[in-house]
Structure 1
Amino acid sequence: MNCREPNSLGFNTYACPDHPGETCRIPKSCKSRFCSVCAKVQVDNWVANVTQMFPNCNYFHITFTVPSQFRELLFAKRPLLNAVFATSVETLITFCAEQGFLPAITAVLHTFGSDIKRHVHIHIIISAGGLMLSGKAERYTLFMERKRKDPKAKKRVVTVVTDRPKWIHFHDFPYKVLHKRYQALLIKHIKERINKNLLSANPDPDFKPFSDLNVTRSFFDDLRKIYRKGFFVHASGERQKLACTVKYIGRYARRPPLSKLRITEYTGDMITFLFKDYRNHERPVLYTLRTVEFIKKLVQHIPPHYFNVIRHYGLLASRVKAAYRKLTDKLLPPSAEVKPASDWRERQTAYRGKDPMICSICGKVMAFVSAHLPNPLSLVKARFQAAYP
């Protein structure tokens, strides 16, 4: 809440070497995962870097949602989130291979909704086209994440035409087909992991609801009956320019579960925030929680250590993107260069129209003088007084 406030987190002081009276204070940021101010900087830099990586073409934005019946299991066993990534991407990349091309894909995992409750879904941006595959698509088993702990796991690949590369443009996805494919693959991936646990000598207690084979079979049968048309896959159906798509997805890639601007009241014991009820025509709703419960809801959305919530596939896969980029550069217009605002000075210069680190008298760059850090006890006292006036 106090990010970039000098009295709360401290600041660095800079001064002109020739005119000590000309100073500049740079406030310190909190670097918190839940800070919307710090997230804005991360989003801008991420968008600028990613824009250079993507082929310059149109893109689709597609969202794959996990049914509520799986949420408790996914939060109890976080590695199962890898299955959600694998299922979503396999659904798209298999369909594209049937059309004869390999697309560029970036997937972003979200575990929260507007009300910060558990709501697992994946946002995907996929190119409206791709490099032509060599030979028939049916010959290739298109996607599989390599299991690090399983040396027998084979890496499945696709190959593209390299001697005479061709970019195939694509205009629409049959979303109704994606619903059923996504459902079948997600059930398959999760069922494999559950069955593996059933056969284990030391079953995981987190899989206790699926400890009986008949119960597990009945659970998935009921799930297919509830979702007869398949699991939910949302897409706008409209192709968008690269810059617009990346900027839009950037808000999902780095933003915290809740912006401080949505917090309407804080009394120390209770906290009230605003969210949109998407089941009721995006009607704004006030939600009040105890502070401890609010913190618990936020902390549960912190991803596990070394878990990547942003992943790239297809033409953007780390092992092949350099080689494929050379081909796409020959077939598509070059991407527009975007320079990221990498530090506080550049961002302030762009916002104010002048460099805050330049002396207004002589025009020299100011030098570092000192760093001011607040007393931790005074900081705790100030927060206590604010919570209990």
Structure 2
Amino acid sequence: MPGPILEIADILRAHGPAWRATNAGHVSLTQLKVMSAIERCRTAALGGHVARCADCAHEHIAYNSCRNRHCPKCQAGAAKAWLAAREAELLPVRYFHLVFTLPKPIADIAHQNKREIYNLLMRASADTVIKIAADPKHLGARAGMISVLHTWGSAMTHHPHVHMIVPGGGLSADGAKWIACRKNFFLSVRVLSRLYRRLILEGLTKLHDAGKLQFFGDHADLVDRAAFDSFLQPLRKIDWVVYAKEPFAGPKAVLAYLSRYTHRVAISNSRLIRFDENSVTFKVKDYRLKGAGRHTTMTLATSEFIRRFLIHVLPRGQHRIRHYGFFGNGNRVANIARIRQLLGVRASEQDNDNNTRNTMEPVRFLALPCPCCGGQLIIINTIAPAQHSRAPPKPQRAAV
């Protein structure tokens, strides 16, 4: 299947240099690295491979990917590998989908404090589910969850929220049994919303007291504790949005959902329509509407399009996908094995299959099919990355 005609890389190659010059001093090193990676992705600059089709002997050149997690072209392969690992961890139970969002005033200051508030958002949303699920008045069990951080809306505006996938039940406190929730009900959204609101507000106050929040522009006066308390006060009285979607129709539906959400970036290449010297037009979806009317288009000035794309670059080391509860990385394997035993499910044989494959002599294939016949492309040669000339070193002044 042919790829999209337009790509984010095309826009950055055409307008990135001018945008960087105009915004010099206002762009982080991480954002600059993302731009550079996307511009160079699958070009001779990164090297590549020569492959020959096993069926028709057609030779094909494929340049290497940048593998940057913000690159729209590089996420399909990363998602495929991640999903293969998650498939062996799926439990034969009903799964639920929860969404935790931040009110706009907090989202605004999160834009200036990404690392701290994104971490707070993911931790508070997970703690909310774990604490309510552990309460005997609700489920009385230790829950597990996969949390995925998204920071954008359809128009690439700043809209941090967490998508959470939760099995419908949990381990008893002594780990002796699996406690299942009701068929179409996991936990009360109203109860979740109130605890989530309290945990976020308490977390923000602690961050402010520790001097870990920065404020600029219209929010500069929030550095004062009294002003910050006044800023938070109205948020204590409103309902916070915690959304529970319909439960998934089995583990396969969970995988299909995860394949669309875990490695998504702010905008995919498939949503681009056209761009020129002045503007970029792309598809958007208005989630407040239903039916065909929710799909429309938006045109932004090219500089604004690039700015919006880059505000969703995560701080270095920030994890977008996290596991909590009995899915926590430390005890995940043991917990899943125990739950499978309690549910009477045989252990996955996938690990044995992987070990068998790993002992075989590796044959390197391209992930792409042959463009002529669709056969497998076997790598026969490697192309070294293009060498870029460097400026000569500045002459050293002689020591006096």
TM-score by length of 1: 0.74
| Correspondences of 1:74-89 after superposition (within 5 Å) | 74-78=110-114, 79-89=116-126
- Which residue pairs with 1:133 in the alignment? 173
Residues 47, 247 of structure 1: 8 Å contact kept:
no
Q: Unaligned 5+ residue runs, structure 1? A: 135-160, 358-365, 378-389
CA-CA distance at 1:72 after TM superposition: 2.2
The separation in 2 between residues aligned to 1:106 and 1:191, in whole angstroms, is: 27
- Which residue pairs with 1:108 in the alignment? 148
The separation in 2 between residues aligned to 1:218 and 1:6, in whole angstroms, is: 52
- Please give the per-residue CA displacement for 1:93-127, whole angstroms capped at 9, x wherever unaligned: 01111122112211011111111110010000011
Q: Is 1:95 the equivalent of 2:132?
A: yes
CA-CA distance at 1:196 after TM superposition: 3.0
- Which residue pairs with 1:222 in the alignment? 234
Q: Which of 64, 72, 83 is the matching residue for 2:108?
A: 72
Residues 60, 240 of structure 1: 8 Å contact kept:
no
- Cα 1:327/1:11, change in 2 over 3 Å: closer
The separation in 2 between residues aligned to 1:292 and 1:210, in whole angstroms, is: 29
The separation in 2 between residues aligned to 1:92 and 1:9, in whole angstroms, is: 44
TM-score by length of 2: 0.72
| Correspondences of 1:364-379 after superposition (within 5 Å) | 367-368=380-381, 371=383
Residues 145, 327 of structure 2: 8 Å contact kept:
yes
Q: Which of 238, 241, 246 is the matching residue for 1:232?
A: 241
CA-CA distance at 1:247 after TM superposition: 2.5
Q: Which amino acid aligns with 1:36?
A: P
- Which residue pairs with 2:294 in the alignment? 283
Q: Is 1:24 the equivalent of 2:24?
A: no
Q: Unaligned 5+ residue runs, structure 2? A: 1-6, 10-37, 355-362, 390-400
The separation in 1 between residues aligned to 2:226 and 2:265, in whole angstroms, is: 40
CA RMSD of aligned residues (A): 3.4
- Cα 1:212/1:327, change in 2 over 3 Å: same
Residues 53, 376 of structure 2: 8 Å contact kept:
no
- Cα 1:23/1:289, change in 2 over 3 Å: same
CA-CA distance at 1:5 after TM superposition: 7.1
- Please give the per-residue CA displacement for 1:242-301, whole angstroms capped at 9, x wherever unaligned: 221132023221012111121111113321111011223362232222222211111111
The separation in 1 between residues aligned to 2:242 and 2:261, in whole angstroms, is: 17
- Which residue pairs with 2:197 in the alignment? 183
Kindly indicate whether structure 1 or structure 2 has the higher relative contact order, using CA contacts under 8 Å at least 6 residues apart. Answer: 1
Q: Which of 355, 363, 385 is the matching residue for 2:376?
A: 355
Q: Which of 169, 183, 187 is the matching residue for 2:180?
A: 169
CA-CA distance at 1:71 after TM superposition: 1.5
- Cα 1:304/1:131, change in 2 over 3 Å: same
Residues 101, 161 of structure 2: 8 Å contact kept:
yes
- Cα 1:132/1:75, change in 2 over 3 Å: same
Q: Which amino acid aligns with 2:322?
A: R
- Which residue pairs with 1:303 in the alignment? 314
- Which residue pairs with 1:51 in the alignment? 87
The separation in 2 between residues aligned to 1:305 and 1:375, in whole angstroms, is: 27
- Which residue pairs with 1:124 in the alignment? 164
Number of corresponding residues: 328
- Which residue pairs with 1:39 in the alignment? 75
Residues 49, 63 of structure 2: 8 Å contact kept:
yes
Secondary structure in 2 matching 1:356: strand
Secondary structure in 1 matching 2:111: helix
| Identical amino acids, percent of aligned pairs | 24
- Which residue pairs with 2:329 in the alignment? 318
Secondary structure in 1 matching 2:376: coil
CA-CA distance at 1:23 after TM superposition: 4.3
CA-CA distance at 1:170 after TM superposition: 0.9
